[in-house]
A and B are shown apart, each in its own frame.
Chain A
Amino acid sequence: MTEVPVSRIRNFSIVAHIDHGKSTLADRLLQYTGTVADRDMKEQFLDNMELERERGITIKLQAARMDYRARDGREYVINLIDTPGHVDFSYEVSRSLVACEGALLVVDASQGVEAQTLANVYLALENNLEILPVLNKIDLPGAEPERVAAEIEEIIGLDCSEAILASAKEGIGIEDILEAIVQKVPPPADTVDKPLRALIFDSYYDSYRGVIVYFRVMDGRIAKGDRVKLMASGKEYEIDELGVLAPTQVQVNELHAGEVGYFAASIKAVGDARVGDTITLAKQPASEPWPGYAEAKPMVFCGLFPTDAAQFPDLREALDRLRLNDAALSYEPETSSAMGFGFRCGFLGLLHMEIVQERLEREFDLDLITTAPSVVYRVTKIDGEVLYIDNPSALPDPQYREMIEEPYVKVEMIAPENFVGTLMELGQSRRGEFKDMRYLAQGRTTLVYELPLAEVVTDFFDQMKSRSRGYASMEYQLVGYRKNELVRLDVLINGDRVDSLAAIVHRDKAYYVGRALVEKLKELIPRHQFKIPIQAAIGSRVVASEQIPALRKDVLAKCYGGDISRKKKLLKKQAAGKKRMKSIGTVDVPQSAFMAVLKLGSEGGS
C-alpha cells in the first residue's frame, strides 16, 4: 500500500432500510473497483456473520477500502464504512457516521422512504455528512423514481435533482455512484501533523490476536509498534499488527489522518476498546478525546434460563464469550423460584436481544427459556433514595414508594394511509400519546407517538406489522422517564405469592392483565387433589380470581389384556411432566405456565 494524500481519500457509509439493497450495492462497488475479484464474490460480502446472511441484514458493521481510478484520471482511496441498519445499534451507527464525510442514502425506488432510513438520515445530517440520494432497484417494473424522489425531498428536505438512478442487482449506476462519491463527498481534513486521535467505530474478538479494533484516523499518524492509549478507558497497549480492510485484512506499517484501518494489540475483551473511544499515542497524547463517547446502556432486559439446569455453567461460559465481542451485553446471575438458576441480561433493544438469544442457541447449542422482556423502572422511595428496578419482584412495597417512573420512547411509524386508523388504535391501546401525523406523497403517512417502552418491547412491532399487513415500518428512540400510576400485580397460587409471576403494570390495565393471567394459569396448571385458588392482586386487593377444581379421577380402568406397555408409557409421561414442574407451596406448576403467562403478560389489555 502506498501512502495516499488526504485529498484523495473519501470516507462514506450507506444509509438504507432493510431490503432496500445496501449489501448488494456494497458488493457491486467492491466488484467494480476490483477490490474483490468476481470469482471470490459471495453474496453480501460485508455481512459475514451466519445470522446476518440469513436475515439479510447487517448487525455488526464492517469496513472496506477500495482503490478507484476516477474519470478525472486520478487514483482515489474510497473507504466504505458499513453501519448496522437497526436502531438498537444507533450509537454504533452514529460513531461510524462520525468517521465519514459522506453517506449514500439508498432508497428502494419501488417503495419509498421507511422509518429506519429516516432515523439514520437524521443522524447523518447531524454529523454534517454530504448525503447522496440513490434510487435503487429502478429495474423493477414497479419502480417510481420520480415519486420516491419527491418523497425524499418532502420528508427529508434533500435536493434530489441529482439523485442517482441505480440497480445494484443489475449493476446499473455503479460508476455514477463512485464518481459522485469522488466529486461530492469532501476529503477528510488534512490534520496529519496533529497529535494522533483515532476513533474506534467497531471491534471484535479474535481468539488468536485478541480484540481487533476498527478505527478511523481523525488526526495524526499511527504506526505498527506504537504504544497507544485509549482515552476513555485509560489503558495502554502496543500495536502488534496494523492494517487496512481491503476488505480482507492487509497489513501496513502506518496510517494517517483520513484513513480507515484495524489494529491488534493483545486486548483481552471488546469492553476494553469500546466503540467511540479515542486512540492516542501514549508518549504524545492529544489533549482532548474526540467528542461524543458514551457507554452503551442496556434498555431491555430479560431472564435467560437453561432448560436443563445442568447447562447453567455452559450458559455462563457462552455469555462470557459473547461479551468478549459485544460490549453492550450485560448480565448477572438470577435465581428464580420457577426456573432455577439463570441470568438477567440487558440489551440495547429487541433486535439485540433476539440476536443474542439466537447466537446462544445456535453457536453454543444451548436450550434456553426466555422470560418476557422488561424495562428498567426508576423508583423514588419516600426517603429520597432512587432505585432502578428491572425485576418486578424487587419493587419496594407501596408504603415505601414515592413514585415510579418508566422509560418512554418516541415511535415513528410510516404506513400507507389506509392503515392509519388501526395503527392509531394500537398506539392508544399501548398507552401511547399521539404527537404528530403527517401525510407524505402518494398516500403514505407518518405517525408519531410517545409510548412507554414497556409497551413497545413486548409485541408492538409484530402487532404493527400484522395490522398493516406488513406495510408499516417503525423506529423508536428513548425520550426519557415519566412518572405513571404503576403498580405491582402479584399472582397468588393457593395463597402463595409467586415472585416470577409478578408484573409491573399500569393501574388502569391491572384488572385486564390480572384476569388474563388467572384464566391462563387455570388452563395450564393441572388439577390437584385439592381446590386451588388463583388470584391476581395489587397489594392486598384481589383484582381477579379463578379456581382450579380438585382432581376427581385419575385411574386407568380399561381392559388391556397383558399389554401394560401403554399404561407404562402414560405413567412415564405423567412422571416426566411432574419432574418439570415447580412446586409453589403444595401446588406443582408446569414450566409452560410460567412461559405462557410471561408472554401473556405482554399481550394483556391490548
Chain B
Amino acid sequence: MGPQTARGVDRDWWRRAARSAYVHVPFCRRRCFYCDFPIAVVGEFRPVRGGDPSGPPDPLAPKVPLSGENSGAIAQYVTLLGQEIETVAAQGRSSSNASNSLEPLETVFFGGGTPSLLSPEQLGFILGLLDRHWGIAAGAEVAIEMDPGTFDRAKLADFVAAGINRVSLGVQAFEDELLAACGRSHRCADVDRAVAAIAAVDLNNWSLDLIAGLPHQTIERWRWGLERAIALGPPHLSVYDLTVEPGTPFGKWYEAGCAPLPSDRATAEMYRCASEVLRGAGYHHYEISNYARSGFECRHNRVYWHNRPYYGFGMGAASHLGGGRFTRPRNRAAYGDWVAGGCAIAADPTTETDRLLETLMLGLRLAAGLSVATLRDRFGPAAIAAIETVLKPHRDRGLVVALDDRGTALDPTIALGDSDRIALTDPEGFLLSNQVLSDCFEALG
C-alpha cells in the first residue's frame, strides 16, 4: 500500500484527487427510534397491509409509496442534489489544485436515509451526472443502501440497469417485535421478499446490516439472528452496535447498559459472539463492524478507513477533500440555501497532527491495521516512536498487536518500528478500541 519509492516523508499523500463519492438521500418512511442521522420523513404513503384500507391506519404497519410516484419533496431534493454536483464539477474544472481534479470514480455510495425510495430514473439521473463530469471507472463499485419493503424485483432490476452493482440491505433484526421496538417500518416478511429479489436479479454483491443491543435482546436470540443471517447467504455483513443518542426517542426512553437495553456485559458478549459465529461461518472480520467473504469487502468504506479523499453530496453529507473535512448543512432549508449560495466548502485546515490522528482512528478499525512503513513515510520516524510509546501498555495487555509481513503477531518485546503492521486484536482490541484511540489522542494530539 505504501509508495514503492525510496524512504522519505511522503508529504502530499493527502492532497490526491478523490476517486469516490458519497451521495446522501435523506428520505425515510418514518424515523427509527434510535436514529440521529440527517433524514426527512416523507409523508405521502399508504399502508399496504393491515386489511381494510378504510379502517383506522395502524401507525406501525409497513407503508410503501403511492404507486408510480414518490413525493414532490424527493424530486425537489434530487434537483438540488443535481445542482450541487454540477457546481462542484465546475469548481473542480476551474481549479488548478490537484486535489480538485476530476478523476474517474472508483466507488459511488448512495446512503441514507433510505436511498431505495428514489425512483430508478432519479438514481440514473444522479449517476449520469457523476459519469458525465467525473466518469465512472470500469469495474467501479456502485453501492446503495436499501430497506426491505421499499422495493420489489422490478425496481431492483431497474436500479441494476442504472448501474448499481452492490446493495446494502437494512435488515437490522430477525424478530418483528424487535423491529417494532426500534420503530422500523419493515417486518421479517419484507426481508424474505427483499432477499428473494436480490437473488432473482443475480446481484451477488450484497450486504446485510444487523444491530446488536436492541431493547430486550438476549444473547441467545442474538446468536439465533446471526444464524438466520448466515442462512440467507450474504457475502457481506455489517454488525452495528446500538448507540443511544441524545435527542432520539431511545435517548429519552433508555439509558445505555440499563434495562430494557442489554447490559454492557451482554453487549460485549454479543460482539464476541458475532465475531466467533461469523468467522466460524467463513466470513473475514475485516473491520470493527464489518464481515465479508473474501473479495466482498466494501471498497467504498475502505476509502474512509484508509483516510483517502472522497466527495460528499447532499444534505448532511461529509466530504474529505485536500485534507479538509466538511459536513453539509443537516436540514433541507439550510442545505438548499447552501446550494443556492454556490456550495462553498468551509473546511477547517488540517494539521499534520489531525491527519496522523485520523489515520490512526480510521486505520486501526481495520483488522489488517496500519502499515508501519506507510506511517513512517507520511509522518516520519518520530511519529513511529511516539505511537510505540502510547501503544506499549495496550500491546502488553493484548489489545494491540504488531504483525510481521506474513501477518503473524510479534512478541511485545519486538519494537513496533521493526514490525510490518500494527492492528487491534479481534475481538478484545476492537471492543476497547476507544480506550486505545483516546490514549493516542491524548499523547499525540
Report A's interface with B, CB cutoff 8 A: 529, 551-559, 561-565, 567-568, 570-572, 574-576, 578-579
Q: How far is the CB of A549 from chain B (nearest CB, A)?
A: 8
Q: How far is the CB of B435 from chain A (nearest CB, A)?
A: 5
Closest 6 CB pairs of A and B: A575-B441, A563-B318, A574-B438, A557-B241, A552-B268, A575-B442
Contact residue among A559, A562, A567, A576 (Cβ-Cβ distance under 8 Å from B310): A562
Once the chains bind, are B432 and A557 in contact (CB under 8 Å)?
no
Known: A557-B271, A561-B22, A568-B357. A575 touches B438 (CB 8 A): yes
Q: How far is the CB of B309 from chain A (nearest CB, A)?
A: 10
**Bound CA–CA A571/B443 (angstroms):** 12
Once the chains bind, are B438 and A571 in contact (CB under 8 Å)?
yes
**Bound CA–CA A576/B438 (angstroms):** 9
Report B's interface with A, CB cutoff 8 A: 22, 24, 37, 111, 209, 238-241, 243, 264-265, 267-268, 271, 288-289, 304, 310, 312, 316-320, 325, 327, 357-358, 361-362, 397, 399, 430-435, 437-442, 445
Q: How far is the CB of B227 from chain A (nearest CB, A)?
A: 20
Contact residue among B22, B239, B435 (Cβ-Cβ distance under 8 Å from A562): B22
Once the chains bind, are A529 and B435 in contact (CB under 8 Å)?
yes
Once the chains bind, are A558 and B304 in contact (CB under 8 Å)?
no
**Bound CA–CA A571/B267 (angstroms):** 21
A-B contact pairs, 15 of them (CB 8 A): A552-B265, A554-B435, A555-B430, A555-B433, A558-B240, A562-B318, A562-B320, A563-B316, A563-B327, A564-B318, A564-B361, A568-B357, A571-B438, A572-B445, A575-B445
B22, B239, B264: which has the most chain A beta carbons within 10 Å? B264
| Chain A contacts for B267, CB-based, 8 A | 552-553
| Chain A contacts for B318, CB-based, 8 A | 561-565
Once the chains bind, are A558 and B243 in contact (CB under 8 Å)?
yes
| Chain A contacts for B37, CB-based, 8 A | 561
Contact residue among B264, B327, B358, B397 (Cβ-Cβ distance under 8 Å from A553): B264
Contact residue among B209, B327, B399, B439 (Cβ-Cβ distance under 8 Å from A559): B209
Once the chains bind, are A529 and B442 in contact (CB under 8 Å)?
no
Once the chains bind, are A553 and B304 in contact (CB under 8 Å)?
no
Contact residue among A557, A563, A564, A568 (Cβ-Cβ distance under 8 Å from B240): A557
| Chain B contacts for A555, CB-based, 8 A | 241, 271, 288, 430-434
| Chain A contacts for B265, CB-based, 8 A | 552
Once the chains bind, are B441 and A557 in contact (CB under 8 Å)?
no
| Chain A contacts for B397, CB-based, 8 A | 529
Once the chains bind, are A564 and B312 in contact (CB under 8 Å)?
no
Q: How far is the CB of A587 from chain B (nearest CB, A)?
A: 13
Q: Which residue of chain B has the shortest Cβ distance to A577 in the bound complex?
A: B438
| Chain B contacts for A576, CB-based, 8 A | 442
| Chain B contacts for A529, CB-based, 8 A | 397, 399, 432, 435
Contact residue among A551, A559, A562 (Cβ-Cβ distance under 8 Å from B432): A551
Once the chains bind, are B304 and A562 in contact (CB under 8 Å)?
yes
A557, A559, A567: which has the most chain B beta carbons within 10 Å? A557
Q: Which residue of chain A has the shortest Cβ distance to B209 in the bound complex?
A: A559
Once the chains bind, are B438 and A553 in contact (CB under 8 Å)?
no
| Chain B contacts for A559, CB-based, 8 A | 209, 238, 240, 289
Once the chains bind, are B434 and A571 in contact (CB under 8 Å)?
yes
Q: Which residue of chain A has the shortest Cβ distance to B326 in the bound complex?
A: A565
Once the chains bind, are A557 and B445 in contact (CB under 8 Å)?
no
**Bound CA–CA A278/B435 (angstroms):** 66
Once the chains bind, are B319 and A562 in contact (CB under 8 Å)?
yes
Once the chains bind, are A554 and B241 in contact (CB under 8 Å)?
no
